Amino acid sequence: MERWIKRVLPRGLYGRAALILIVPIVTIQLVVSVVFIQRHFADVTQQMTKALVLELAYLTRIVDAAPDLAAARSEAGAVARPLELALTLPTDAPQEISRRFYDLSGKTVTATLRQGLPGFTGIDLATDTARVWVGIVTDRGPMEVSFNRRRVSATNPHQLLVLMMFTSALMTLIAFLFLRNQLRPIRRLARAADAFGKGRPIPYRPTGATEVRAAGRAFLDMRARMERQIEQRTLMLSGVSHDLRTPLTRLKLELSMAEDSPETRAMLRDINDMGRMIDTFLDFSRADALDDPEELDPAALLMRVAERARAGGGAVDIGALPPAEPASLRPMAVERALQNLIDNGLRHGNRVALSLHLRPGTLVFTVEDDGPGIPEAQRELAMQPFQRLDAARNQNRGTGVGLGLAIAADIARGHGGALHLGTSDRLGGLRADLVLAR
- The CATH number of whichever domain residue 242 belongs to comes to 1.10.287.130
Specify if 175 maps to a domain: no
> Residues 14, 31: one domain?
yes
> Residues 234, 87: one domain?
no
Q: Per-residue pLDDT averaged across 56-78, rounded?
A: 91
φ and ψ of 105, to 5 deg: -65, -30
The one-letter amino acid at 386: F
Structural domains of the chain, count: 3
φ and ψ of 9, to 5 deg: -65, 145
* Greater pLDDT, 27 or 238: 27
For 423, half-sphere exposure in the C-beta direction (CA atoms, 13 angstrom radius) is 7
Specify if 174 maps to a domain: no
Task: Classify burial at 253, counting beta carbons within 10 Å of its beta carbon; exposed 0-12, middle 13-18, buried 19 or more.
Answer: exposed
In the predicted structure, residue 275 carries a pLDDT above the cut 60: yes
The one-letter amino acid at 320: A
CATH number of 327's domain: 3.30.565.10
User: In which band, very low, low, confident or very high, does the pLDDT at 111 lie, cut at 50, 70 and 90?
Assistant: very high
Kind of pairing between the strands at 294-296 and 97-98: unpaired
Q: Return d(Cα 209, Cα 343) in angstroms, integer.
A: 51
Q: What is the pLDDT of residue 389?
A: 62
Asked if 353 and 368 count as a contact pair (C-beta separation under 8 A), the reply is yes
* Greater pLDDT, 21 or 432: 432
Task: Classify burial at 229, counting beta carbons within 10 Å of its beta carbon; exposed 0-12, middle 13-18, buried 19 or more.
Answer: exposed
- Comparing 139-148, 200-209, 255-264, which segment has the lowest mean pLDDT? 255-264
Specify if 119 maps to a domain: yes
In the predicted structure, residue 342 carries a pLDDT above the cut 70: yes
Asked if 349 and 397 count as a contact pair (C-beta separation under 8 A), the reply is no
Q: Return d(Cα 25, Cα 13) in angstroms, integer.
A: 19
> Residues 116, 236: one domain?
no
- Residue 426's nearest CA partner among 301, 307, 318 is 318
> Residues 262, 314: one domain?
no
User: In which band, very low, low, confident or very high, does the pLDDT at 51 lie, cut at 50, 70 and 90?
Assistant: very high
Domain-terminating residue out of 123, 157, 191 = 157
Q: Which of 13-22, 234-243, 258-267 has the highest mean pLDDT?
A: 258-267
Specify if 310 maps to a domain: yes
In the predicted structure, residue 399 carries a pLDDT above the cut 70: no
In the predicted structure, residue 392 carries a pLDDT above the cut 50: no
Domain-terminating residue out of 252, 285, 318 = 285
Q: Per-residue pLDDT averaged across 223-242, rounded?
A: 76
Q: What is the pLDDT of residue 131?
A: 92
In the predicted structure, residue 121 carries a pLDDT above the cut 60: yes
User: In which band, very low, low, confident or very high, does the pLDDT at 354 lie, cut at 50, 70 and 90?
Assistant: very high
**pLDDT tens digits, 175-224:** 788 878 888 888 888 888 888 876 677 888 888 888 888 989 998 999 88
Q: Give the single-character DSSP code of 320.
A: P
Q: Return d(Cα 338, Cα 404) in angstroms, integer.
A: 10
Tell me the percentage of the chain whose pLDDT exceeds 90.
Answer: 22
Q: What is the pLDDT of residue 61?
A: 93
> Residues 229, 126: one domain?
no
Asked if 355 and 318 count as a contact pair (C-beta separation under 8 A), the reply is yes
> Residues 140, 8: one domain?
yes
* Greater pLDDT, 186 or 236: 186
Domain-terminating residue out of 247, 269, 285 = 285
Asked if 146 and 131 count as a contact pair (C-beta separation under 8 A), the reply is yes
In the predicted structure, residue 145 carries a pLDDT above the cut 90: yes
In the predicted structure, residue 45 carries a pLDDT above the cut 60: yes
Q: Return d(Cα 86, Cα 66) in angstroms, integer.
A: 18
Q: Which uninterrupted H or E stretch holds 108?
A: helix 104-116
Mean of the per-residue pLDDT values for the chain? 82
* Greater pLDDT, 390 or 217: 217
* Greater pLDDT, 238 or 375: 375
Q: What is the pLDDT of residue 367?
A: 93
Q: Per-residue pLDDT averaged across 356-380, rounded?
A: 88
> Residues 327, 273: one domain?
no
Q: What is the pLDDT of residue 378?
A: 86
> Residues 8, 92: one domain?
yes
Specify if 346 maps to a domain: yes
CA distances from 421 to 277, 314, 359, 383, 409 (A): 24, 21, 18, 9, 10
User: In which band, very low, low, confident or very high, does the pLDDT at 285 lie, cut at 50, 70 and 90?
Assistant: low
User: In which band, very low, low, confident or very high, does the pLDDT at 266 lie, cut at 50, 70 and 90?
Assistant: confident
- In sequence order, the 6+-apart residues with CB closer than 8 A to the CB of 172 are 21, 22, 25
Q: Return d(Cα 33, Cα 66) in angstroms, integer.
A: 47
Q: Per-residue pLDDT averaged across 81-89, rounded?
A: 91
The one-letter amino acid at 165: M
Q: What is the pLDDT of residue 231?
A: 75
Q: Which domain holds residue 411?
A: 286-437
> Residues 11, 126: one domain?
yes
Task: Classify burial at 238, counting beta carbons within 10 Å of its beta carbon; exposed 0-12, middle 13-18, buried 19 or more.
Answer: middle
In the predicted structure, residue 395 carries a pLDDT above the cut 60: no
User: In which band, very low, low, confident or very high, does the pLDDT at 431 lie, cut at 50, 70 and 90?
Assistant: very high
Q: Return d(Cα 182, Cα 388) in angstroms, integer.
A: 51
> Residues 10, 150: one domain?
yes
Q: Return d(Cα 330, Cα 294) in angstroms, integer.
A: 6
Q: Return d(Cα 272, Cα 317) in angstroms, integer.
A: 30
323: preceding bond cis by omega (within 30 degrees)? no
Kind of pairing between the strands at 316-318 and 294-296: unpaired
Specify if 184 maps to a domain: no
> Residues 87, 148: one domain?
yes
Specify if 229 maps to a domain: yes
Q: What is the pLDDT of residue 1?
A: 59
Q: Return d(Cα 228, Cα 85) in angstroms, integer.
A: 92
> Residues 395, 275: one domain?
no
In the predicted structure, residue 147 carries a pLDDT above the cut 80: yes
Q: What is the pLDDT of residue 397?
A: 47
In the predicted structure, residue 412 carries a pLDDT above the cut 90: no
Asked if 342 and 352 count as a contact pair (C-beta separation under 8 A), the reply is yes
Specify if 217 maps to a domain: yes
Beta strands in 46-116 (DSSP E): 86-88, 97-98
User: In which band, very low, low, confident or very high, does the pLDDT at 311 lie, cut at 50, 70 and 90?
Assistant: confident
